[in-house]
Structure formats: C-alpha cells, structure tokens
Amino acid sequence: MPFLLTSSLPPPPPPIVSQQDTDQSAAQADLLGPPLSPQPPEGAGEGFVPGFSPPANRAVNSSPQRTSYTFSSGMDWQASPQKLFAEMKSPPLRLSGQPAPDQAEPLETVADRQEYDALRQVFSAVGNVVLQFRQAELKADRVQTDVVNKILVAEGNVSLSRGGQVLRGERLEYNLVQERGSLSKASGVINLPRAQGDLDLSLPTRVTTDALQPLPDQFPAQPTPLQPEAEPELERLRFEADRIEFEAGTWRGSNVRITNDPFSPPELEFRATQAILERISPTEDRITARRGRLVFDQRVTLPLLREQVVLSRQGRDILPFDFAYDQERGGVFVGRSFQLVDNRSTSLVATPQFFLQRAINSSFNLADPDLYGGTLRLRSQLAEQTRVTGYLKLTSLDLTEFSQTARSNLRLQQDFGEYRFNLEASLRDRLFNGSLGEQDVLNSVGAVFFSPALSVGNSGVKLSYQVLSQYVTAETERSGLRSPASLGRFQGSVAVRREFNLWQGQTLPPTPTGGLRYTPAPVQPYVQFYTGALGVSTGYSNGDDQQVLRGTIGFQGQFGNFSRLYGDYTGFNISYSQVVNSGESPFLFDRVVDFKVLSVRLLQQIYGPLRLGVQGSMNVDTGRTFNTDIILEYSRRTYGVVFRYSPDRQLGALVLRISGFNWLGNTDPFLAPDIRTVESGVVVPDN
C-alpha cells in the first residue's frame, strides 16, 4: 500500500570531522548503490516489517496509514519507533541565520516502501514512487534523496512533469537547491506558454471590404462568432534526446529531435547533434543548434545553415534564404537575415537583400549599388506594457538617392490593459487606397489611441473605436494647396459588428487520416451571416473635413472537412458595402472614392493538400477591381508552402509555414510595416 511522506529539507548540520563523515561521503557518491544489509535495529518495535528492517540508523515507514513526516537533522534515530515518528512530526532544527521551518519547501512522497538512512542521511523510496516538489511531480521505480546536499536521483520509468511540460527517461539527477539536473534517454513534451501577445491594432470589430487577409489561414477552422479570429500559436513540442541537461529555463541536449506533430512517424522534425533551448523573452524561445536541419516526411532534409532558430509568437524566419517579388525592388529578390541583437528585451534584425531580377537586367554589373538593399527591424520591450518598434527599408545603396529609396517608421507603444496608445513617426509610408491604388505619405508624426472589442450588453454586438491626431505631408491636387501639402489630420472612428450562425457541420476525429490529415486543427463546416457599420469623421487643419458612414453585409463559411483527396474543402467570404459621405479629403491617400464595393474571397481544394485561392474587391460603379490576390497553397498538418501574388500591388512571396511556429520569413513584402491598406479613410494599422 502506498504511503505519504512530507520531508522539509533542513540545512546541513555543522561539519564534524570523523570517520562517520568519511563513510557518509563515500555513500553519497553513489546514491543508488546496493542497499544496506537488512539488520533490525535494537529496540525495534512493531513499526518495522520483518525482512526489510534497516540497521540502527535507518528508519522505515511501513505503516498502512497515510502519514505526514518532517525530517530533522537532530532526531534520535536510536529511539523507539513511536518516539521516532513523533520526532518526525516535530519542527526541524535549524542553524542560526537559516530560514524558518515554515519557509522550507516540502518533498511530498507516495511509494510502496520508504526508508531513511540516518548515517548517510539519504531518504529512499521504492516502488510506484510519486514525489511532488515545487508544483512538479516526479514518478519513478526508485528515488533516493541526499538530505544534506539536497540531490535527488531517480531510476526506472522516470517521468517528470510540471504544468504542460513532461520529461521521461531512464535516469534523472537533480539538485533541488540549484534547480539543475540531467536526464538520460530523454523524451517528452515541452509546453511553450501562450504569449500575452500584442493586441491587434486594427479596429477589431470592423467589417472589412479589403479582401486581403493574413496568410495562410484564409478562413478560421471553426466559427467563432463572438471572438476575433486568433492566429495559431505554438504550444507543445515533442522531443527525444540521448541526454538532456536543464537549469533555470535553459535546456541542453545531444542528438536532439523535435517535432510539432502529435503523431508518429512525424511529418516534420527538427534535428541537431547538439541543441540548447532557452527563453529570451516572454514571447520567444531560442534554439542554438549544431548541424540543425528540417526533415520532411522522413525523406527530404533541408539544412538550415544557421546556428540559431527562434520560436516566436511575433513571426520569425527559419530558412537560410528567402525569395520574394516586389516591383519597387526591381522584381525578384533574395534576402538573408542576421540577428544583430537578441536578448530578453531587445531584438535587432538586419536583412541584406540582393535584387536578382535587376541584376539579370543589368547583365550582373555587381558594382551597381542599385542591386543591393535591405531592411532593419527593431523591437525593444522597455517595460511590461511599453515597447519600441522600428523599421528601415532601403531599395538601393546609392545614398545620394536616400530620400527616394528609404522607407522607415518608429513607434512607441504603451498598453493600458487591453487599450493601446501609440506615438509614431514615418518616412514614405506606402499606402493602398482602394481603386486609387498606391499612394505615398512623405512623412507623418502623431499619436493614436485604440480600444479593444467591447461587448454591447448581451446583444452579441461588438464595438471598438480609435482616435488619431497627426501631422502629415503628402501629395495633393487640391487647388489652393501647394503639393506636397503639410496639414494636421484629426480622426475618430467607431466600428460595430454582429455575426449570426446559420449552420454548423461536424468535425472529423483528430486523427492523422481524419480531421488532421491536411490541417493542424480539425475543420468544422459552417455558414455565417454578418453585418456591420463603420463611422469615420476626419478633420484637417486647413478647414476641410470628410465624414463617412459605411454599412456592410456578407456571408462567410466553409464546406467539407479537408480530409479526402478531392472535393472536400471550399471556403468563401462574400460581402457588399455601401458608403454615404460628405466632404472630401485634401489628400489622395485617405480620400473615399469607392462607394459601392463587392468583395469576394474563395479557397478551393484542388487535389490532396493543394488549395487554390483568389480574392479581390470591385467598385460596382466603375467596374474597377483592386486588392486582387492569387494564392496557391500546399497544406499539411505540420507545415505548408504558400505562393501568393498580388497583381495590383505587384508583390509576391513564396513562404514556408510551420504550424504554430509563426515562421513566415522577414523578406515577405506583404508583412512589411511600410505597406498598409486604407479603408473608408482609415489607415489600417499593421501589427
């Protein structure tokens, strides 16, 4: 029958040089050595079991009752069992300057058999051992603890769990004071906690007419009528290693294999001969690996050609090189990211870029500075609710043309609970305003306040708002203004939204051949009707103003479970918006000219994991289309490859997606902070 033993580990007694200490040190050298010969102690009473009685300095708990014990270095181990057990319950002795007993942390143990060797000061538990310490639970066939040095050794079917982290192996050695240890033949689960995450800076309840949506998740796997759609986050990784050493949030392993696949054999693995996993911020973990590589379907190997990989909820790159298309850079270009600064508070990433298509067109004149450029990204956490972000892009290294080839922005973000206040400055923002197309804001400086999505009673309606004040310099064709014009711009906007579930289908079981065949989460068929409204009031320092009221209705949903080889997935979003306005902006970048807009987004399974998507919007009055997109996706449970091209914006990207890791690359032009969309006069903020 199992027994419960609670052991508050006391400080070691004052050192006394003796033969006993020499014997004790030798005994501690091998905690899991052969057990001492069973010799009954003098005066042993009914509390000891014949055949497993310890020598005079060993106490055995074989009582059929659950008993809570507290070990003390000053116990009389030669006393009778009754007195011995009574002393076990007494407060432990402590030296001058040591913590009070109530500050000691208990070791709570359940086992088939428990014993304490007073000579060696070693506590032993054998058979179905369950030990709890500091919110962690250890299970093993056999556990011994050096009470003086507070070293724990476990052997046989070892399992150590704390929160969502689970370690398994053959032998565990752990120092309870230093909180460091090692595990041989290790395997298990690492739970990377959910980040508190940045708030979505866009109006969270607005009903968009812009068909462009973040990739690759074009449609939510399941309907979430009262919540904003969440991006998938990395939560759990399975791993195996020959040996793991861990301390203070850092793990070191040899011959490491890590996968985000819950099934075996895994679709995707990260392998390395040596690897270190360490927390660098509340939202990021870094793997430093030797010979790191990705293995797809146990066949295809992709060397990473880099020592460090970041598991991030903010978006990081993983490939050694990234390819993309941007007409502003001359077409196809290639980039490689380097982490200049990477610590718990600050990240600074430089991405040199080579403009391949320009080089081809110029017969590879490598001395031409227009063939080179790059980006620089800064993110620094100044306090828990305060951060600074920055971005610089160069489309040429010809510094004499800096004012025409550089784009940048700098932002100070301050959170107040779920609200956010930004101070920001930008140089040459690249904005896309509906059918007016690309418009540049030469420079701007100002402040903006964002609210979260607020529930309106129990109606199911969500409301959000934002307020903005800035000084802007941009092109204008307004008579009486000299172009480019510099004006103060003041704006307030309110958005409301409500969804109605019309139908919901059933998901398939989460199996590798069922609901999780091609997606990281089971797909639930559904159809929703949604409606919303957006009100915007904008004033300018020259006396002009623009008032906008937009209403939107639409249907969105998906059919199929995306599990069969063909005809098992169709996603759609169709909406119609109409605008009533008064006044007109003196600038082109925020002027409202699309008063009736039809938006369509479709994503269709072609065969197996291949899906083809198209999306775009059309001005019903003029017939002009804008924000068009073509998407080709190869989707698997653990990873995917997405090709995306926008003929209107002349942007393209080939992106490797690894489910949950948020690895999308730093060269993807769709994610650049200087490229933003304008809807009904509101500049949709980037994240």
- For 317-380, the three-class secondary structure string (H helix, E strand, C coil) is CCCCCEEEEEHHHCEEEEECCEEEEECCCEEEEEEEEECHHHHHHCCCCCCCHHHEEEEEEEEE
In whole angstroms, what is the distance from residue 531 CA to residue 499 CA? 7
- Whose tokens are 């804008």? That residue is 626
Residue 490 lies in a domain: yes
Q: How confident is the model at residue 166 (pLDDT cuts 50, 70, 90)?
A: confident
Is residue 186 within 8 A of residue 240, CB to CB? The reply is yes
Please provide the DSSP assignment of 409-472 as one string: EEEEEEEETTEEEEEEEEEEEEEE-GGG-EEEEEEEEEEEEE---EE-TTS--EEEEEEEEEEE
Residue with tokens 């050794």: 153
Amino acid at 10: P
Binned at pLDDT 50, 70 and 90, residue 214 comes out as: very low
The answer to whether position 92 is within a domain reads yes
In a domain, residue 157? The reply is no
- Calpha distance 354→268 (Å, rounded): 30
Position 309 confidence tier, pLDDT thresholds 50, 70, 90: confident
Residue 105 — pLDDT band, cuts 50, 70, 90?
A: low
Residue 520's CB is within 10 A of a number of other CB atoms, namely 21
DSSP state for residue 101 in the 8-state scheme? G
Position 280 in a domain: no
- How many angstroms separate the CA atoms of 165 and 50, rounded? 41
Q: pLDDT-derived band of residue 165, with 50, 70 and 90 as boundaries?
A: confident
pLDDT score at 663: 53
Q: Please, which residues bridge with residue 633 across strands?
A: 611, 642
pLDDT band of residue 204 (cuts 50, 70, 90) is low
Domain count across the chain = 2
CATH assignment at residue 422: 2.40.160
Nearest to 397 by CA among 361, 440, 431, 366: 366
Closest CA to 471 of 512, 430, 443: 443
d(CA 663, CA 142): 42
Contact 148, 155 (CB under 8 A): no
Contacts of 115 (CB under 8 A, 6+ apart): 54, 58, 59, 60, 61, 123, 124
Of residues 66 and 488, the one with the higher pLDDT is: 488
Give the CA radius of gyration of the chain: 32
- State the first-to-last Cα distance of the chain, in angstroms, to the nearest integer: 57
Out of 114, 147, 180, a domain closes at 147
With a cut of 80, say whether residue 15 has pLDDT above it.
no
Q: Please give the backbone phi and psi of residue 436, each rounded to the nearest 5 degrees, phi first.
A: -75, -15
The pLDDT mean for the chain works out to 78
Contact 640, 373 (CB under 8 A): no
Q: Does residue 229 contact residue 200 with C-beta atoms inside 8 Å? A: no
Residue 190 lies in a domain: no
Give the range of the structural domain holding residue 599, as residue numbers without chain letter. 313-337+345-351+373-684
Indicate the pLDDT class of residue 76, thresholds 50, 70 and 90.
very low
Residue 506, burial from CB neighbour count under 10 angstroms (0-12, 13-18, 19+): exposed
Q: Is residue 308 part of a domain?
A: no
Q: What pLDDT score does 515 carry?
A: 93
Q: Are the C-beta atoms of residues 480 and 460 closer than 8 Å to each other?
A: no
pLDDT digits (tens, 9 = 90+) for 416-456: 999 999 999 999 999 999 999 999 999 999 999 999 999 99
- Output the pTM of the full model: 0.73
Could you tell me if residue 74 is inside a domain? yes
Q: What integer is the mean pLDDT of 216-231?
A: 38
- Percent of the chain predicted with pLDDT > 90: 51
Measured CA to CA, the distance from residue 663 to residue 520 in angstroms comes to: 15
| Contact call for residues 85 and 47 (beta carbons, < 8 A) | yes
Indicate if the pLDDT at residue 188 is higher than 60. Answer: yes
Q: Looking at the predicted structure, is the pLDDT value of residue 43 above 60?
A: no
Residue 195 pLDDT more than 60?
A: no
Q: What angle do CA 250, 256, 259 make, to 5 degrees?
A: 95
Among 338-342, 450-454, 628-632, 636-640, the minimum mean pLDDT is found in 338-342
Give per-residue pLDDT as tens, 513-554. 999 999 988 999 999 999 999 999 999 999 999 999 999 999
Alpha-carbon distance 172 to 152, whole Å?
8
Secondary structure (3-state) at 259: strand
Q: Which pLDDT belongs to residue 628?
A: 94
> In the numeric block, which tokens belong to residue 291?
């010979």
On the question of pLDDT at 226 being above 70, the answer is: no
Lowest pLDDT segment from 28-42, 85-99, 442-456? 85-99
Domain C-terminal end among 118, 147, 176: 147
Domain end marker among 147, 182, 217: 147
Q: What pLDDT shows up at residue 107? A: 73
The answer to whether residue 245 sits within a structural domain is: no
Q: Reply yes or no on whether the pLDDT at 68 is more than 50.
A: no
What local confidence, expressed as pLDDT, does residue 228 receive?
29
Residue 240 C-beta-side C-alpha neighbours within 13 Å: 8
* Closest by Cα among 415, 339, 338, 417 to 382: 415
Q: Which of 537, 530, 532 is nearest to 551 (CA)?
A: 532
675-679 and 419-432 strand pairing: parallel
